[in-house]
Copies of this chain bind each other. A is one copy, B any other.
């Protein structure tokens, strides 16, 4: 008799975005003339850079002729892409990462999910709260989370580190021993960043305790402050304690094209085993490499023209983020993130619950956001807005929210 992985039964429903979709659809049906502006889901909208498009067309043509055809590629990614990553994302920042420490994949979500394969079931996992749900759910599936407590909305064996305005969005070191620590900077959902000093503290902690940091840098391209690290490997000691996830999704608009990569340094050893060798074995056994066409497209962002085009798109989103942050601040709201991130994290006015404020924004401003509570209990009292929309729509959404709050303050 086949037995199932019973950890799946413990998972609560994947509620957040489906509930947003349900409420939005219900409102739109009741108000067919309302023009809703979507600032909820963190998906890009700008087209791929022309250099990327040209590279993908050329790669498709490669597959169209026997002489230039590419079959199975290296599971770890093609040298042309791994070399470009090593040079431009690391060497250019004075970080020595070898191409064979880089594993190209179909995206950071896959890697963040699959990385658990190389760790034992009995590790204690620490996450920030609020948190990108994939970190928690994948560990729950693997049996590391214990049981889900519907009262606290937390898993019994996960260590949650509140990350709120009260601690300047910099989580404190945990009071109990932890083994795997997820950090995300620039952060999803809060849009805030971890300073060099904060990261050094975590690296020192991990090295001292033989923990491993799983560092999600999917949004690093949005960093504007020169003092903020783009990679955890800018921090001395990180190579012996950290794995880093990178994505072309937000960097270069690859949410539909699919490509990312993970760095596992050769110096990262636990229980006598190289995690680089283990991840290599995992990927060569359970993965067959990212698409040749897409890897060619990704490599194009490292050309001078590709880099300039990608920067232009990032600047477009950055301008939206500024529009949102400045507009909502002017309307009297407490706003975080945005400076180094496409996400704006906004405290709800007068202690309103985040789902209640979501409803008001939907119904009174016709703007769709994401309730902070959907990212964990410490997200209650916040909403997330994203800068990935049209510039005019973004301005209009901010104006609508301002008017809504003005009208209320006059009541």
Contact = CB atoms under 8 A, between A and B. Distances in A.
A106 interface: yes
A176 interface: no
A72 to B, nearest CB: 5
A107 B288 contact: yes
Contacts of A180: 2
B43 A71 contact: yes
A123 B288 contact: no
A150 interface: no
Contact of A256 (B255, B258, B292): B292
A273 B8 contact: yes
Given A45-B66, A292-B256, A281 B6 contact: no
B4 A119 contact: yes
A109 B106 CA distance: 14
A179 B5 CA distance: 13
A3 B258 contact: no
B45 A69 contact: yes
A123 B2 contact: yes
Contacts of A172: none
Given A8-B273, A118-B8, A46 B69 contact: yes
A34 to B, nearest CB: 22
A257 interface: yes
A157 interface: no
A137 B64 CA distance: 34
A2 B121 CA distance: 10
A70 B47 CA distance: 9
A134 to B, nearest CB: 6
A64 B275 CA distance: 38
Contact of A109 (B9, B14, B286): B286
Nearest to A294: B291
**Central interface residue in A5, A45, A48, A73, by most chain B CB within 10 Å:** A5
- Give how many copies assemble into the complex: 2
Given A14-B284, A114-B286, A258-B288, A120 B64 contact: no
Interface in A150-180: 177, 179-180
Contact of A9 (B46, B113, B256, B273): B273
A11 B63 CA distance: 35
Contacts of A138: 285-286
Interface in A262-293: 270-271, 273, 275, 278, 281-282, 284-293
B8 A278 contact: yes
A141 B285 contact: yes
A286 B132 CA distance: 12
A314 interface: no
A217 interface: no
A61 B52 CA distance: 11
Interface string A42-57: 0111111010010011
Contact of A60 (B60, B285, B292): B60
A65 interface: yes
Contact of A119 (B3, B46, B211, B255): B3
A210 interface: yes
A360 B234 CA distance: 53
Interface of A: 1-6, 8-9, 11, 14, 41, 43-48, 50, 53, 56-57, 60-61, 63-66, 69-73, 106-107, 109-110, 113-114, 117-120, 122-123, 134, 137-138, 141, 177, 179-180, 209-212, 253, 255-258, 270-271, 273, 275, 278, 281-282, 284-294
Given A1-B211, A3-B179, A69-B256, 5 more contacts: A1-B210, A2-B123, A3-B119, A4-B118, A293-B293
Which 9 A/B pairs are nearest by Cβ-Cβ distance? A113-B286, A3-B120, A43-B71, A1-B210, A70-B256, A2-B212, A71-B255, A256-B292, A53-B64
